[in-house]
Structure 1
Amino acid sequence: MNTDLTRLSEAGLPVTDLGPVVSGELHPLLFATVSGAHLYGFPSKDSDVDLRGVHLLPAADLLGLREPEETRSRMWDQGGVEMDLVTHDLRKFVRLMLKPNGYVLEQLLSPLVVHTSAPHAELVALAPAVLTSNHAHHYRGFANTQWRLFERTGELKPLLYTFRALLTGIHLMRSGEVLAHLPSLLDRVAAPASLPGLIAAKAEAEHGAAEGVDRAEAAADVESLHRVLDAAQADTALPDAPEGTDALHELVVRARLGAVSAGRTAGGR
């Protein structure tokens, strides 16, 4: 299972071991990690636990007439904590990796690992080969969506999500590293001086109001970071298209064939 309990505890997770949570899944899990506010570095006392990962469907599910269940999700309460697990079949997840989708890469590269495997390690090793300059569009679009949500609700959470997305995008364009942890980004990208205080305030409530925030000042900060992201994208050394397609294709085929082989071996015992 290889659950890193120290990192999970440091991230503020309200449970001690998430390993048993994924052990009863219908299909084999290749990995499960923690995403959401815990990964981003600003969980609240009442934050739920967002688990994301990859399962491996039997080959028959992909060859038959029925539509395969490529995405599975379930929610439940564990000790008063809302748990949310979403997994994709390996093929679908890899296809998402080959798009400029920073969200799935953050899940893959999350240091908050609940369950891992050899294919997970291979996916992590191949992640740099799918990074492109176009990932800036993902973070720009996500920031715009969260900013509109902040304007409508006045909540602190979407404001922090806005800044997190922009800083992650800027850092990615400059360094080629996917870093979703907002407190760590503050040491790497010039950020508004108000962010440490906003992160501390978010700890009290998941959906609390952004009290004391000057909206005009926040808007100016967001606009400024958009310009920085634009410039970082223009200057980035990242390619325009992913380069890891063949290696990822081979990984998907090997993993599926390996599962078929393992099933035959088990059936013959």
Structure 2
Amino acid sequence: MNGLPSLLPSWLPSWLPEIPGEQPYPVVFATVSGAHLYGFPSVDSDVDLRGTHVLPVAEVVGLRTGPQTLDRTWTRDGVEVDLVTHDLVKFCRLLLNRNGYVLEQLLSPLVVASSPVHDELVSLAPACLTRHHAHHYLGFARTQWRLFGRTGELKPLLYTFRVLATGTHLMRTGELEADLTRLMAYGPPYLPELVAAKREAEHGTAPALDGVAADVERMTAALEAARESSALPERATAGDALHDLVVRARLAALA
């Protein structure tokens, strides 16, 4: 199932492509998510790997079923790695459930391992997009904004700006862009300063800035307006195609 990985940027560990082959189940794909995908990794950031595995048929139809989600964290060469994979069925259900996380993971350009099934999932991603993905980004932004209010840390503040910008861009263009450095036009002029500060420390305190709350309010309103005027459909249309893909992948695993 594991295909040849794409070339990764030199600032990511060169041993990342070895990880999918070390897992207990075949990996459909594995990509880098988190701060590295969002455009503001710090010098001490961990590496978030996300992907999909395929359970063998015996662990799907038998009395003893396999794990729908595998979650593992460890340290290698001083780098903390966090790996989460979902079984293909669960992943496809999440795709159809307006889940922005899994869409970002699927479409991440930081590909550690791929396969023909991954390629097919990517081709079906546009048919999973709906205007209701805005709710995911609005909810995520509220959570991160509250966290910033409690901690004063820079990380949740940047996450707030990132998800609002990503959601607005998605609603307006139908394109998913998770890298905040490509979305600076949606945010306040001090965003580059925040990104630079975040790259110096993972859990640093946000600098004192005027008008942050007003900027978050403005970006929230922009996302809400973009949702209302978006040309994206009400419902995903990829359900039948994803069902067919899951069945073929299961049968291939049986063979």
TM range (shorter): over 0.9
Q: Give the corresponding residue for 2:129.
A: 131
DSSP 3-state at the match of 2:48: strand
Once the 2 structures are TM-superposed, how far is the Cα of residue 2 of structure 1 from its aligned partner?
Answer: 3.0
Distance 1:248 1:26 in 2: 24
Q: How many angstroms does 1:69 deviate by?
A: 0.6
Deviation of 1:22 (Å): 1.8
SS at match of 1:27: coil
Give the counterpart of 2:178 among 177, 180, 185: 180
**SS of the counterpart of 1:23?**
helix
Partners of 2:188 and 2:4 in 1: CA distance: 37
User: Displacement, 1:64?
Assistant: 1.2
Q: CA deviation at 1:68?
A: 2.7
**Contact 2:32 2:112 survives alignment (8 Å):** yes
Give the aligned partner of residue 57 of structure 1.
55
Structure 1 segment 6-155 matched on structure 2, within 5 A: 7-9=8-10, 12-13=11-12, 15-155=13-153
AA partner of residue 225 (structure 1)? M
Superposition misfits of 4+ residues, deviation over 6 angstroms: none
Deviates more, 1:156-165 or 1:16-25: 16-25
Q: Distance in 1 between matches of 2:221 and 2:49?
A: 33
Deviation of the 1:212 alpha carbon: 2.4
Question: Residue 253 of structure 1: SS of its match in structure 2?
Answer: helix
Number of paired residues? Answer: 253
Rounded Cα–Cα distance in structure 1 between residues aligned with 2:86 and 2:212: 36
Cα deviation for residue 81 of structure 1 reads 0.5
Q: TM-score, normalised by structure 1?
A: 0.92
What is the alpha-carbon distance in structure 2 between the residues aligned to residue 191 and residue 2 of structure 1? 37
Deviations 1:136-188 (A, max 9, x none): 000000000000000000000000000000000000001111110000112xx
Residue-by-residue CA offset, 1:176-235 (whole Å, 9 max, x unaligned): 11110000112xx43200100100000111000002233xx1110000011101110011
Q: Which residue identity does 2:27 align to in structure 1?
A: L
Amino acid at match of 1:22: P
Task: Note if 1:209 corresponds to 2:205.
Answer: yes
Q: C-alpha separation between the residues in 1 aligned to 2:30 and 2:186?
A: 32
1:260 alignment counterpart: 254
Which of 203, 219, 223 is residue 213 of structure 2 equivalent to?
A: 219
Query: One-letter code of the match for 2:247?
Result: V
In structure 2, runs of 5+ residues without a counterpart are none
- In 2, the alpha carbon distance for the partners of 1:227 and 1:221 equals 10
The residue aligned with 1:199 is: 195
**Contact 1:75–1:84 under 8 Å retained in 2:** yes
Q: Secondary structure at the match of 2:23?
A: coil
Indicate which of 231, 234, 241 corresponds to 1:247: 241
Deviation at 1:128, TM superposition (A): 0.3
Contact in 2 for aligned 1:3/1:18 (Cα 8 Å)? no
RMSD of equivalent CA atoms: 1.0
- Decide which of 141, 157, 160 is 2:158's aligned counterpart: 160
Structure 1: stretches of 5+ with no match in the other structure: 262-269
1:228 aligns with 2:228: no
Q: Is the 8 A contact 2:186 2:219 kept in 1?
A: no
Identity of aligned residues (%): 60
Q: Residue 266 of structure 1 corresponds to which residue in structure 2? A: none
Take 1:127 and 1:209, find their aligned partners in 2: how far apart are those partners? 37
Task: Output the CA distance in 2 between the equivalents of 1:133 and 1:193.
Answer: 27
Q: Which moved more, 1:70-79 or 1:158-167?
A: 70-79
TM-score normalised according to structure 2 size:
0.97
